[in-house]
Structure 1
Amino acid sequence: MEKYVKRKSKLEPSLPQEEDDHYSSTKQSRIEINLVDLPADPGLQAWIMDYNANGRDQIRRAYLQKGPCQPRDHNFPQKSFGQKLRQFNQAWFSEFPNWLEYSVTKDATFCLCCYLFKPDIGDQAGGDSFVGEGFSNWKKKEKIQTHVEGPNSAHNQVSSKCQDLQGLALRGHDGSKHSSNQGNFLKLLKFLADHNKDVKVVALSNAPQNLKLTCPDIQKDIVNVAAFETINVIIRDLGDALFSILIDEARDISIKEQMAVVIRYVDKKGQVIEHFLGIEHVANTNALSLKQAVENLFSGLGLSISRLRGQGYDGASNMQGEFNGLKTLILKENPWAYYVHCFAHQLQLALIAMAKNHNQIALLFTLVSNVANVVGASCKRRDIFREK
């Protein structure tokens, strides 16, 4: 059985002296990737950053597919806290099913998401006990909930990265021949070449001269072609039928205003169909700019505003304004394009109105906002808040 030694708060395979001396300069390429033998117990897992950079996503994906280590049938040992004996509560697995892990060897809990993606920046990372030594203070179960915190917390940020990793990215980090992370495009192309003789004679290493057609720009072109063909299928299914549109605009992470357009129609089988048509960048969010963007999109798809029978927007003045809103500009051109206020936005406005008309609810949100602003502005205040 392989021996383990403690290293960076995780247990890793011990090495011969010669390799161990070489560890500091080659630690990212030292650990070989063996997805079958990856330890499930979080107390025995090697530090994620010690794996080769080209293979980390493979390891992360393998752990995510297995799910968090939750030995429900384990006889959890008791610890003495003052005059009481306490132990890990198996019900916490059900309360935090997606990330909470338990180490049998350490009798401690860990966070799977933070282990996979939390950056290794030493003490600056906040000294999170759910990544290093593990959390085992069963007297303070609220610490587990505190670890999650708000929507923009470090835990929720790495949780989003876990969800993104499970998506199918077309390109990998390194498309070279011997890379272990070439991306799905090259992997699928190789699979197709291995199982189709006609493809094999013209693909990859058998391609004539430099016509491999695998460079990043060409991969992007293929994605654009796939998107174009998908939209064409939607337009052909729509045919000459009447339709309605749902539009919302928001600022993305690159600080650009984007307008998302969804089309809604009844197909030949009598079923109501909704399809996402695309996202249009709008330099200005006034009604005229939005209408111009809609017309440009319709023109490129061969659609006409005269076939429009419904509009669904939020309640912003530039969208549903009575005199100069987008709905009004379209109604002037097509009086049968009836406007319906988006129900989701109506519900939001109803909740806001209800909160404003009840002093206790309004006071609660005011206090929460003040606490968030005061505590969030200071690292020391955050630490005190976590302790309390």
Structure 2
Amino acid sequence: MAKRKQTFLDNFLSKKASSSSSDSALHSELSVPEKPGGSGLPTSSICQEIGKEGDSAHSKEDENVPKVDLSSSNVIESNPDVLGIPSNDDQDPGENVDDRQTTKKLETAAENLSQSTLAPENPSRIVSENAYQPSDWASVQHVGKRHFNFQQSWFQTFPWLHLEKDIQKMLCIICVKATRLGLHRANTVKEETFLSTGFCNWKKAIEKCKKHESSNYHTTSLNKLAELQNVPIKQKLQTEALKVQETARLFLRKIITSVLFLAKQGLALRGNESDSGNFLALMDLRSEDVEGLSAWLQRSKSFTSWAIQNEVLRIASHSLLRQVMKKIENAKYYSVIVDETTDSSVKEQVSLNIRIVDEDFEAQEYFMGLYETEDTTGNALYTRIIDALQRFNLSLENLRGQCYDGAANMSGKFKGVKAKILELQPKAFFVHCFTTP
């Protein structure tokens, strides 16, 4: 449309220049410089003057010249060459410029993407890199009088083909990998020919391979392996660390249960030698039933050391003591039973027991532990007992009984443990120890 307007203006001005002086004045008026940033064409006011002159001179001009009203709009022309858009005159009828440009851009983008190093490679080739495909291997299938040979080109057509040396048949390396890694559900239908039994039907090799390649099991295996290979390094390390932790947790549980079993049976865990004893013998026995335990113990010998054994016993004893303390707190009132003895290392040990009456009105006694003491005087034993009761958060206000042997340091009238406790709690009735039949 702009081109037609420009042609009309040129014809109109050339004719008016030769007819009258008024036309020359009009032509000089049209030569006024355009405003900065304009398109190179007259402004709206000048176009209006052209329209008026055109109406007055219409009767003198050729009747075939069309009449165009330019008084109601500005004429702005864009250069198609600058925008890179072809002229409408060069297009076929009905062809849209925008559609053609968009299509061209999409084709260019697709070509660039195909050549880019970021484009993904063939996933089937990636996951089948470990396939065994010997170039000198040959195999012949006899069907009656006909012979069918294995073709080396099939390795290129089906890169997932893998020669299993033991059976001298072809397997699908992709499906084998996915199955061994446990990437399929347990109830997934498998194609045993390419998984275990092997394929050797060269007569229908292409047909069978294409059928397997399009099967659901093969497609799922390919996608699962591709996803597995695309996992970031950080995530792979985290997954591997979790597996190691889970294995260590499983085997550590075996160690703990073995220690608790020996403790419950009252058996010593070890002797004077660190590489022998009931505990290590029991672990060797359990290794026969627990897969991987023996190898793990060889790599992690510190988990069977005396320090770990003692720590397990300490944690277990604390757990039991917490349970006992809840029962004592529920009973509220309690009595103490104390005796002192010398162990095999000639060290004085004080044994502490707590006696309560439970909700069923039955007497219960709980062993609270052995406490080493350097002195066996009444005052030293009294201090040791009070310290143990405070550790268990047992108040002397609820102490209602005390039981010791007849030694002076325990039941002495003035300096014995009995006398010192009665000073703090007069309600702690003393009973001399005795053995029930």
Shorter-chain TM-score: what band?
Answer: 0.3 to 0.5
Structure 1 or 2, whichever has the larger Rg, is: 2
TM-score if structure 2 supplies the norm length?
0.35
Structure with more relative contact order (C-alpha pairs < 8 Å, separation 6 or more): 1
TM-score if structure 1 supplies the norm length?
0.39
